[in-house]
Amino acid sequence: MRDLAAAAGVTRYVALRDGVIAGGASFRMAEGVAQLTGAATAPAHRRRGVQTALLSARLADAAAAGCDVAVITTQPGSKSQQNAQRRGFDLLYTRAVLVKQS
């Protein structure tokens, strides 16, 4: 995430609650497609609309910049997936991530 957030063409967002950083996110655009990336909310600020606000801001900015498609990647069944689907995103596919433990 650090490399992506530092990349050229990436717009970064910080969400504040009562003057404290509560979360952050980013997005980038290419050929009318907005890729919503790297949203995170600090544990003390979860369940207070931070991610929804970050999602709304990025979608509004993407639309204003002429994007007509937006994509987002989330963990299956996560709150992030629920938030994205509430904003009108449809599930395209799921992906299994396999981990080998020693």
Contact of 27 with 35, CB cutoff 8 Å: yes
- Say what the pTM is: 0.81
Give me the residues paired with residue 37 across strands: 26
All structural domains of the chain: 2-86 (3.40.630.30)
Q: DSSP string covering 19-63, please?
A: TEEEEEEEEEEETTEEEEEEEEE-GGGTTSSHHHHHHHHHHHHHH
Q: Which residue has the higher pLDDT, 2 or 42?
A: 42
Which tens digits make up the pLDDT trace of 43-70?
999 999 999 999 999 999 999 999 999 9
Q: How far is Cα 35 from Cα 73, in angstroms, rounded to an integer?
A: 9
Is the predicted pLDDT of residue 2 greater than 60, yes or no?
no
Q: Provide the pLDDT confidence category of residue 1 given band limits of 50, 70 and 90.
A: very low
What's the CA gap between 43 and 53, in Å, rounded? 16
From residue 95, give the alpha-carbon distance in Å to each of 19, 27, 67, 99.
37, 21, 26, 13
- pLDDT the model gives residue 3: 53
